[in-house]
């Protein structure tokens, strides 16, 4: 049976064809260190009881405590969470962070819950996994349909269980509860830094570059907002309910304002107090957005958005992955044959975990940085790792994803090798 995790593991096949590594490395990265499934009983507002299923997977902690988000989504599964924890392991190594990878999730449609029910679920999840997390063991963070408020509830629940303030246990918290400035925009900001490095090397002028973005959640919105400020033309945006397209460009902030007030994505009419304006646009489907003729297609929704079924229909000149695993391995091969480069998720979206690392450092030190310092440190890391991966891909004539995986896996391999591999223990003294 082909699963998300089995597809994710195929990425390693290319790695071992290009670099010589001990078989111990392949064995260590073949399965997670710990997988936990939990039941979370919640008293609903109507007095009834519902039991939700949650997961936490810690994939590898060779380089440090595990790190990874928690998503609330009806399609969450153990297979998905395991894959995400694997990608987090690679991602933390790509960014050079002293973390391993983990991920968590709860099978739920959070849009169907009241705020009180959502708080009970968030606290219940932490009670269920409290024994396996901690500032020096495993540090959760926000992901799909979770946010700073939810992280604040989770952190507070952990403090109550442990009878002490341990802000380093959760990142992505509200700023007034120990969160870091810049964390909310970090994934989008980091993705823009990577795109800008790519643009510099491939002579892409922002004002002449069109972008279509799938997934207008927090990461997608922050990227689109910042990219528009940098001069890029955002011509299409989509969320789970549909998409809008305008060759003249869309006003990202006005569309987000409308979405937040009307709970729908629409560009026909923007109203700000008594001032309204019309803009030319076309309503299209998510599928049509993926097939638009644009310079850059940004994928910021969920995994498996481009597969063997639609890879030949993609017309974008390059693809940027902000979501985790939006292009599967079969699609990767098709896109490579067609000469469409994919800037991979394990590099592009590592800005989020990098600023989560900054938050963890600030929490443990009890000393907090200004926003400019956070963004400066983030840019240094994103620019450095992007340049290194782009150079490795060019040097070895391999895809950007393969280069990123080689780069990350070599760091993991170094940590594993320092503890001794089969080759070391077979050596005669």
Express each pLDDT in 181-191 by its tens digit.
999 999 999 99
Q: What's the first-to-final CA gap in the chain, in angstroms?
A: 46
Burial of 15 (0-12, 13-18, 19+ CB in 10 A): buried
Instruction: Among 137, 166, 195, identify where a domain stops.
Output: 166
- Strand, helix or coil at 247? coil
For residue 66, the cross-strand partners are 100, 138
| Measured distance CA(35)–CA(55) in Å, rounded | 7
Query: Residue 104 and residue 94: Cα distance in Å, rounded?
Result: 21
Q: What domain range includes position 127?
A: 32-166
- Residue 389 resides in a domain: no
Q: Which two tokens stand for residue 108?
A: 């739920």
Domain-located, residue 10: no
Whether residues 161 and 190 share a domain: the answer is no
- Phi and psi at 38, nearest 5°, equal -135, 155
| 425 occurs within a structural domain | no
Question: The CATH number of the domain where 197 resides is what?
Answer: 3.40.50.720
* 254 noted as active-site residue: no
* End-of-domain residue from the set 348, 373, 403: 348
Is the domain of 155 the same as that of 47?
yes
CA proximity to 11, closest of 300, 333, 241, 299: 333
pLDDT of the residue at 417: 82
Q: Which is the catalytic residue, given 91, 103, 266, 428?
A: 103
Q: Are residues 94 and 206 in the same domain?
A: no
Task: List, in sequence order, every residue forming a beta bridge with 249; answer none if it has no partner.
Answer: none
Assigned domain for 15 exists:
no
CA atoms within 13 A on the CB side of 104: 28
Do residues 254 and 162 both lie within one domain?
no
Residues 6+ apart with CB under 8 A from 182: 189, 355, 358, 371, 374, 375, 378
CA torsion sign, 266 to 267 to 268 to 269? positive
Strand, coil or helix: 64: coil
Please, which residues bridge with residue 101 across strands? 60, 67
Q: Are residues 209 and 302 in the same domain?
A: yes
Which residues in the chain come in under a pLDDT of 50? 267-278
Is-contact 253 224, C-beta < 8 A? Answer: no
pLDDT at 278: 35
**69 falls within a domain:** yes
Same domain, yes or no: 204 and 333: yes
DSSP 8-20: HHHHHHHHHHHS-
Same domain for 140 and 225:
no
Radius of gyration of the chain (CA): 21
What is this structure's pTM?
0.90
Q: What are phi and psi of 91, to 5 degrees?
A: -60, -45
Q: What is the DSSP letter of 312?
A: G
Among candidate residues 367, 123, 217, the one with its CA nearest the CA of residue 359: 367
* Beta strand 34-43 pairing with 49-60: antiparallel
Answer yes or no: do 140 and 225 share one domain: no
376 part of a folded domain: no
How many CA atoms lie within 13 Å of 422's alpha carbon, on the beta-carbon side?
8
Structural domains of the chain, count: 2
Instruction: Tally Cβ neighbours within 10 Å of residue 36.
Output: 17
148 close to 184: Cβ distance less than 8 angstroms: yes
Residue 92 lies in a domain: yes
Cβ–Cβ under 8 Å, residues 44 and 117: yes
Cα atoms in the Cβ-side hemisphere of radius 13 Å centred on 55: 28
Q: Do 149 and 228 have their domain in common?
A: no
């Amino acid at each position: 049976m082909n699963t998300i995790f089995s597809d994710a593991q195929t990425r390693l096949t290319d790695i071992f064809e290009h670099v010589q590594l001990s078989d111990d490395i392949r064995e260590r990265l073949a399965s997670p260190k710990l997988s936990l499934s939990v039941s979370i009983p919640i008293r609903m507002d109507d007095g009834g009881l519902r039991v939700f299923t949650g997961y936490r997977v810690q994939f590898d902690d060779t380089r440090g405590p595990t790190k990874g988000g928690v998503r609330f989504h009806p399609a969450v599964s153990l297979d998905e969470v395991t894959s995400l924890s694997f990608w987090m392991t690679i991602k933390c190594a790509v960014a050079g962070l002293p973390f391993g990878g983990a991920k968590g999730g709860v099978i739920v449609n959070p849009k169907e819950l009241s705020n009180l029910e959502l708080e009970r679920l968030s606290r219940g999840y932490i009670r269920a996994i409290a024994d396996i997390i901690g500032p020096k063991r495993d540090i959760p963070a926000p992901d799909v349909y979770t946010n700073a408020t939810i992280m604040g509830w989770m952190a507070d629940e952990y403090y109550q269980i442990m009878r002490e303030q341990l802000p380093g246990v959760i990142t992505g918290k509200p700023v007034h509860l120990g969160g870091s400035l810049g964390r909310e925009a970090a994934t989008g900001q980091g993705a823009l830094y990577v795109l800008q490095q790519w643009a510099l090397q491939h002579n892409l002028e922002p004002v002449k570059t069109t972008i279509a973005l799938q997934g207008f959640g927090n990461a997608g919105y922050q990227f689109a907002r910042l990219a528009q400020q940098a001069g890029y033309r955002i011509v299409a945006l989509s969320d789970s309910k549909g998409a809008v397209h305008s060759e003249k460009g869309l006003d990202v902030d006005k569309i987000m304002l409308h979405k937040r007030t009307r709970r729908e994505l629409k560009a026909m009419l923007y109203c700000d107090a008594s001032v309204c304006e019309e803009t030319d646009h076309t309503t299209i489907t998510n599928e049509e957005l993926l097939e638009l003729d644009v310079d850059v297609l940004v994928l910021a929704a969920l995994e498996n958005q481009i597969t063997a079924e639609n890879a030949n229909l993609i017309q974008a000149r390059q693809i940027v992955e902000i979501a985790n695993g939006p292009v599967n391995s079969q699609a990767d091969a098709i896109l490579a044959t067609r000469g469409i480069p994919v800037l991979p998720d394990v590099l592009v979206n590592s800005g989020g975990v990098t600023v989560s690392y900054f938050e963890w450092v600030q929490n443990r030190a009890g000393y907090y940085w200004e926003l400019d310092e956070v963004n400066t440190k983030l840019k240094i890391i994103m620019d450095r790792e992007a340049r290194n991966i782009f150079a490795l891909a060019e040097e070895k004539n391999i895809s950007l994803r393969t280069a990123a995986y080689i780069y990350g896996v070599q760091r993991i391999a170094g940590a594993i090798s320092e503890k001794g591999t089969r080759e070391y223990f077979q050596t005669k003294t």
